[in-house]
Amino acid sequence: MVKKLILFFISVILLIISGCSSNKLEASEKDVEITISAAASLQDALNDIKPLFEEKNPHIKINFNFGASGALQQQISQGAPVDLFFSAAEDKFDKLIEDGLIDQKQGIDLVGNELVLVIPVNSNTGIESFEDLIKAGQISIGTPESVPAGQYAKETLQNLHLWADVEGKIVYAKDVRQVLTYVETNNVDAGIVYKTDALISLKVKMVATAKENSHAPIIYPIGVIKNSRNPIEAKRFYEFLQNESSIDIFEKYGFKGLK
Q: Would you say residue 30 has pLDDT above 70?
A: yes
Whether residue 170 sits in one domain with residue 236: no
User: Number of structural domains, the chain?
Assistant: 2
Classify residue 252: in a domain, yes or no. yes
Whether residue 128 sits in one domain with residue 106: no
Q: How far apart are the first and last CA of the chain?
A: 67
Classify residue 6: in a domain, yes or no. no
Classify residue 204: in a domain, yes or no. yes
Pairing relation of β-strands 256-257 and 102-112? Answer: antiparallel
Binding site annotation covers 123? Answer: no
pLDDT of residue 21: 43
**Reading across the β-sheet that carries 170-173, which strands appear in turn?**
170-173, 139-142, 190-194, 115-120, 204-209
Whether residue 208 sits in one domain with residue 125: yes
Three-state SS string over 3-48 comes to HHHHHHHHHHHHHHHHHHHHHHHHHHCCCEEEEEEEEHHHHHHHHH
CA gap 127, 205 in Å, rounded: 11
Binding site annotation covers 136? Answer: no
Mean pLDDT, the chain, as a whole number?
91
Residue 244: how many other CB atoms lie within 10 Å: 9
Q: Would you say residue 32 has pLDDT above 50?
A: yes
Classify residue 189: in a domain, yes or no. yes
| Tens-digit pLDDT profile for residues 154-207 | 999 999 999 999 999 999 999 999 999 999 999 999 999 999 999 999 999 999
Q: In angstroms, how far is CA 230 from the centroid of its own chain?
A: 19
Angle at 164 between CA 161 and CA 169, to 5 degrees: 120
pLDDT of residue 183: 98
Binding site annotation covers 182? Answer: no
CA gap 155, 17 in Å, rounded: 64
Q: Would you say residue 76 has pLDDT above 90?
A: yes
Binding site annotation covers 194? Answer: yes
Binding site annotation covers 246? Answer: no
Is residue 86 a contact partner of residue 62, using CB atoms and an 8 Å limit? no
| pTM for this predicted structure | 0.82
Whether residue 107 sits in one domain with residue 119: no
CA gap 223, 27 in Å, rounded: 25
| Tens-digit pLDDT profile for residues 195-224 | 999 999 999 999 999 999 999 999 999 999
pLDDT of residue 106: 87
Pairing relation of β-strands 204-209 and 170-173? Answer: unpaired
**Structural domain for 36, as ranges:** 32-112+219-257
